[in-house]
Amino acid sequence: MIEDAGEYDFIVVGAGSAGCVVAARLSESGRHKVLLVEAGPEDKHFWIHVPLGYANVFADPRINWMFESEPEPALYNRTMYQPRGKVLGGTSSINGMIYIRGNREDYNGWRASGCDGWGWDDVLPYFKKAEGSDGLKVAPNPVKHELAEAVLRAAQHAGLPYTPDFNGDQQEGVGYYRFNIFKGRRWSTAKAYLEPARTRKNLRIVTGAHVSRVSAHEGRATGVVYDKDGVTFEAKAKAEVIVSSGAFGSPKLLELSGIGDARRLSSLGIEPKLDLPSVGENLQDHFYTQLMFRCTKPITINDFANSWPQKIIEGVKYLVSRRGKLASNHLYVGGFTRSTSGLDKPDIQFNMTAWSVAERTAAGAKPHPFSGFSLSPVHINPDARGAVHISTSDSRRPASIRFNFLESEYDMQAMIYGVRLMRTIAEQAELRPYVAEEIQPGPSVKTDEEIVEFLRRKAVSNLHAVGSCRMGPDRINSVVDPQLRVHGIEGLRVVDGSIMPRIVCGNTHAATVMIAEKASDMILSAVR
């Protein structure tokens, strides 16, 4: 038996980086009744809100989906761990908090591919809106570090220009990151958008609710079916259903609802409602590895993590003043550059982190028992394309995720360049006094062949999956149109990072929030 959950103007599925924004903006005027449905709990977990606490939520099943990819053929069949937020705020409640808009050519490329209205000049106002007084807080790291200064100088000595703001006129170069951290606390979309909206009478938030399908009738989405506390409910939407479940969750929900490749769905016993072959295709992610160094000074997070007296002192400091080591994510500086001439934008990003990891366990990352830091090259414009699809009609089972990393020559050459660049930076006079030794991959790894072998054994997903509900002008090669409406069915949109035609050059959270801001205006314009 299905219980009636009421009727709303809009139903938003997923309270993550995009869903919180959409629900807040659609309910802002008070004229529209909005239901926001989230599978996870409220964002009350203490470590969510502490910037350094993301190490503790990296593998917490209470607030993290903890997905795993299928084995990657080019990486010795290793699986790629995929943490995703299962909580109000979604992955914005557990991520590293770096705020990067991406490169202007990313969005001009979207427009050139047929996505009218998504060029740089079109999206810039929505980035600014997202960074406004009623949006995300974006600020420099509140904690300074001498290693960061050394890396900054070393990278410039290695040939990278200084850039004061990666979100400004010049992305390329080396500089300090900006973060969604404000007054010593994480600023997730739940904090920025949902918290101020919660008292609105026209907004209902349901947590702990697992959506199993979108209801449809005569070519129109009419609502959603969800389970909560052992009871099945159906909520109806008068205007639209907005799916904001992320690069893994959104294509999964569409397929469970009978929207996708008809042959695939029929083989799983799901009645096809709409044959849309691109659902779940075009999956993209950044790819990275860590070069780790033993530090000559006891100044890294390893030293803090391995010392209970330091933990106690810093814990008290944070509780009293919201300052100290816990008030930072300890990702300080980074850079953007090109692995080869002729590219129209950077394809390599790198990050400096004031820690090194001995191993990753089910409980999270375990630091080395000595002082260490990392320089991590990231390939941000890869050839690799994968897919995410359901393999069963059981809505509780995770989708099958495939990335196909490191299968093109360009992807390999770009990462080789990135590894060599990190070593060049580490060898500069400004950073050399801090380097006792390279511990990963180690000095024995020298040739291109040896670097590729290292990458196959150690490099991983950078956890920026996008693209699986691609935006585009036609229903053969895309899932949604440039208004983010699902091709072939009325009253249904997808609004999250899954709509990106091509992954942006930089961390994807800022772009996802921008998409949600822009989509909210589109949706409201359609009902006025």
Catalytic residues: 464
Angstrom distance (rounded) from CA 126 to CA 20 = 15
**CA 284 centroid distance within chain:** 11
Q: Which residues contact 191 (CB under 8 A, 6 or more apart)?
A: 43, 49, 89, 185
Q: Which residues contact 284 (CB under 8 A, 6 or more apart)?
A: 382, 384, 385, 386, 465, 466, 467, 500, 502, 503
168 Cβ contact partners less than 8 Å away, ≥ 6 residues apart = none
* H or E element at residue 105: helix 104-112
Report cis status (omega within 30 of 0) of the bond before 441.
Answer: yes
Closest Cα partner for 12 from 171, 325, 244?
244
- The residues pairing with 10 across neighbouring beta strands, listed in sequence order, are 34, 240
- C-alpha to C-alpha distances, 367 to 6, 96, 324, nearest whole angstrom: 50, 17, 19
> Using CA atoms, how far apart are residues 517 and 511, in angstroms rounded to an integer?
10
Compute how many other C-beta atoms are within 10 angstroms of the C-beta atom of residue 183: 11
Element (H, E) at 180: none
> Is the separation of the CB atoms in 490 and 237 below 8 Å?
no
Question: Which is nearest to 160 in space by CA: 382, 381, 333, 412?
Answer: 333
The whole-angstrom separation of Cα 119 and Cα 235 is: 36
Integer CA distances (angstroms), 388 to 22, 102, 186, 402, 427, in order: 24, 24, 30, 6, 41
- Which amino acid, one-letter code, is at 466? V
